[in-house]
């Protein structure tokens, strides 16, 4: 072999050996970036409908799944592409595509705006989680996002309550009893009956959302419980009216026994038997601030207060006073406006 050919072969071999590690490193990087991203919230893995989108280092994830996992109640205005998320006393409003959002009226900057792609509405994960007080950490090696909810034991237990592993009395096992005076952090309003909570020793479980057990309140929980009251009351639709009906049965009702039964069975609120005593419970609310579940009191039978109804929203009341109609709903107007005395809020 000539000296020139030998030199050329040596140079070629050296260049290939030098390039091999670089090529391998690039291939490993591509393979690493192709691995899916995992998302954990308080140790529980989330399962988004589609893989997160990475936009300049910001992860965008499906809107509904993230908000619901964070324990927020979601409403969507399709005309303006605006989402409103409510969690406890926090309200976040964001219009998809914009670089600003509003949290309780305060403007927040959104570095990478949300977008709609492939039929999914996507929002920046870190922005939403941190807006609700959570901390977000990125584990590069595991390609994992870890979200930790804010630990602020803001809610007091008023009455001993079971901490369960599921939001179900029959299927959920009791983990322990939380005694009166214990502080917990509410992670999520599951429904009208259950709260997902975290204890000071970092246990997570479910407790009753009924007012007797905790001092936790929020507009969103009140709405859920108002809906539950009305839905349960409607199950007695048409039940005959009988003056003085016993509250210990559900075949017949008068106005106050009906109200007493609905509140007891739905929220474990034990109201007095008669309407004029019920009118002493809770706090008075003006008519322009009524919400579902408020009690409305009226004059009747020459008494200052002789009738009670449950406000059902949209200017409707749920009550009973007529043998012909039994339990029914009707508009809060006409004679009812003329005979109205007071409105009371008991939860």
What are the catalytic residues?
Answer: 255, 307, 319
DSSP 3-state assignment of 194?
strand
DSSP 3-state assignment of 287?
helix
Q: Are strands 144-148 and 38-41 parallel, antiparallel or unpaired?
A: parallel
**Tokens 């809610």, located at residue:** 155
Q: 214: closest CA among 196, 229, 232, 233?
A: 196
112, 118, 120, 124: CA torsion to nearest 10: -20
DSSP 3-state assignment of 131?
helix
What are the b/e assignments for 8-44, b being 16+ CB within 10 Å?
eeeeeeeeeeeeeeeeeeeeeeeeeeeeebebbbbee
């Amino acid at each position: 072999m000539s000296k020139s050919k030998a030199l050329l072969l040596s140079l070629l071999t050296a260049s290939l050996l030098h390039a091999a590690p670089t090529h391998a490193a690039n291939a490993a990087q591509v393979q690493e970036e192709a691995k899916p991203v995992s998302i954990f919230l308080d140790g529980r893995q989330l399962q988004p409908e589609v893989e997160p989108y990475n936009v300049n280092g910001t992860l965008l994830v499906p809107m509904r799944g993230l908000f619901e996992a964070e324990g927020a109640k979601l409403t969507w205005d399709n005309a303006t592409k605006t989402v409103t998320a409510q969690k406890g006393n926090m309200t976040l409003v964001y219009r998809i595509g914009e670089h600003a959002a509003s949290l309780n009226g305060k403007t927040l900057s959104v570095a990478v705006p949300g977008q709609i792609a492939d039929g999914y509405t996507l929002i920046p994960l870190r922005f939403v989680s941190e807006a609700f007080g959570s901390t977000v950490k990125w584990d590069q090696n595991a390609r994992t996002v870890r979200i930790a909810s804010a630990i602020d034991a803001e809610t007091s237990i008023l009455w001993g309550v079971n901490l369960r592993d599921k939001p179900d009395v029959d299927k959920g096992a009791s983990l322990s009893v939380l005694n009166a005076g214990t502080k917990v952090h509410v992670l999520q309003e599951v429904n009208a009956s259950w709260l997902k909570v975290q204890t000071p020793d970092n246990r997570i479980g479910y407790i009753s959302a009924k007012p007797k057990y905790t001092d936790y309140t929020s507009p969103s929980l009140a709405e859920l419980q108002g809906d539950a009251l009305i839905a349960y009351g409607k199950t007695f639709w048409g039940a005959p009216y009988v003056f003085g009906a016993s509250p210990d049965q559900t075949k017949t009702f008068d106005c106050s026994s009906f109200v007493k039964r609905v509140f007891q069975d739905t929220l474990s609120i034990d109201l007095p038997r008669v309407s004029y005593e019920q009118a002493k419970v809770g706090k008075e609310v003006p008519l322009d601030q009524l919400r579902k579940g408020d009690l409305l009191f009226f004059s009747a039978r020459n008494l200052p207060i002789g009738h009670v109804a449950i406000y059902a929203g949209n200017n409707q009341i749920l009550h009973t006073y007529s043998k012909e109609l039994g339990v029914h709903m009707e508009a809060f107007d006409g004679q009812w406006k003329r005979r109205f005395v007071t409105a009371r809020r008991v939860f």
